[in-house]
């Protein structure tokens, strides 16, 4: 599969609770440089990425789906207002295991009503469902207006499988997500019928040789010179030995940046050459 086609299927994902703004902006820069479809982040980071040149995807009810429907709906609407283009909602597993399919459907309907203009995905957490539960959950989700069926959150027993995709694609478009670490896995899931892939391992999948630009958050230079040195060293260390690594500022130097911080950054980069 051509690299560009594979990249266009990927939502480069960063949903770690400890991700910093610098981490989030680096993930966006990588997604843009590598030609990924979009970037998937926690709701807190949607507004800072409002002007991103690619779609920003966010989540509601993440990661366990046990929120009340009105809470999920409010979260989805807030993310939309902050600039999200798509929402991935976690379904109510408890309702399914209780046999309350009416409550399960109402949960989805609440979110769909809150964001009628956005692409909505439901995260089914397939590793926790029987085959029958998975199929019924997919059927109802599509009936309630869900656009794309998503496999997993990455927080439970397993990630996406070819078998998941082959089963779900009978009901509609599929986003395979969680546990996708290699190009071989990614290509197998696409061959099985997935149209999107959610992964935090885009670098490994698309190739270590791809250049990365814009991976230092310009806000890192607004503090002290020592803070600028520390962040610059971190970026260089994370990309040490990678062919094609290009160090720069994705959005240039911000107004009010101390010249001492810029000089400190340049000094560290020169030391590393």
Catalytic annotation, residues: 88, 150, 175
Residue with structure tokens 């310009």?
218
Contact residues for 212 (Cβ-Cβ < 8 A; gap 6+): 26, 29, 30, 33, 239, 242, 244, 245, 246
Alpha-carbon distance of 12 to 203, in angstroms, equals 9
Least Cα distance to 65 among 15, 21, 108 occurs for 108
Alpha-carbon distance of 113 to 121, in angstroms, equals 13
Residue 135 dihedral angles phi and psi, to the nearest 5°: -65, -40
Alpha-carbon distances, residue 128 vs 48, 93, 102, 143, 181 (angstroms): 34, 8, 19, 22, 21
Alpha-carbon distance of 37 to 119, in angstroms, equals 14
Alpha-carbon distances, residue 47 vs 4, 21, 64, 148 (angstroms): 28, 12, 23, 24
DSSP-based three-state secondary structure for 181: coil
DSSP-based three-state secondary structure for 57: strand
DSSP-based three-state secondary structure for 164: helix
Burial of 30 (C-beta count, 10 Å sphere; 0-12/13-18/19+): buried
Alpha-carbon distance of 145 to 266, in angstroms, equals 52
């Amino acid at each position: 599969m051509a690299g560009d086609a594979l990249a266009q299927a990927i939502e480069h994902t960063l949903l770690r609770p400890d991700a910093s703004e610098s981490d989030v902006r680096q993930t966006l820069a990588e997604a843009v440089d590598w030609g990924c479809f979009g970037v998937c982040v926690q709701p807190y980071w949607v507004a800072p990425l409002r002007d991103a040149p690619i779609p920003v995807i966010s989540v509601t009810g993440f990661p366990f789906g046990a929120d009340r429907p009105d809470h999920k709906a409010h979260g989805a609407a807030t993310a939309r207002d902050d600039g999200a283009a798509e929402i991935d909602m976690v379904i109510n597993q408890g309702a399914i295991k209780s046999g309350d399919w009416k409550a399960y459907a109402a949960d989805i309907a609440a979110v769909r009503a809150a964001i009628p203009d956005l692409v909505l995905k439901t995260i089914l957490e397939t590793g926790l469902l029987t085959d029958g539960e998975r199929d019924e959950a997919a059927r109802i989700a599509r009936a309630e207006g869900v656009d794309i069926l998503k496999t997993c959150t990455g927080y439970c027993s397993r990630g996406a499988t070819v078998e998941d995709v082959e089963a779900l694609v009978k009901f509609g478009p599929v986003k395979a997500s969680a546990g996708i670490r290699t190009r071989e896995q990614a290509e197998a899931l696409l061959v099985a019928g997935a149209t999107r892939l959610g992964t935090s391992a885009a670098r490994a999948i698309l190739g270590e040789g791809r250049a990365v630009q814009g991976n230092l958050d310009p806000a890192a230079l607004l503090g002290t010179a020592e803070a600028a040195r520390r962040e610059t060293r971190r970026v260089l260390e994370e990309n040490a030995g990678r062919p094609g690594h290009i160090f720069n500022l994705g959005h240039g130097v911000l107004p009010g940046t101390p010249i001492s911080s810029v000089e400190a950054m340049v000094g560290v980069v020169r030391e590393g050459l």
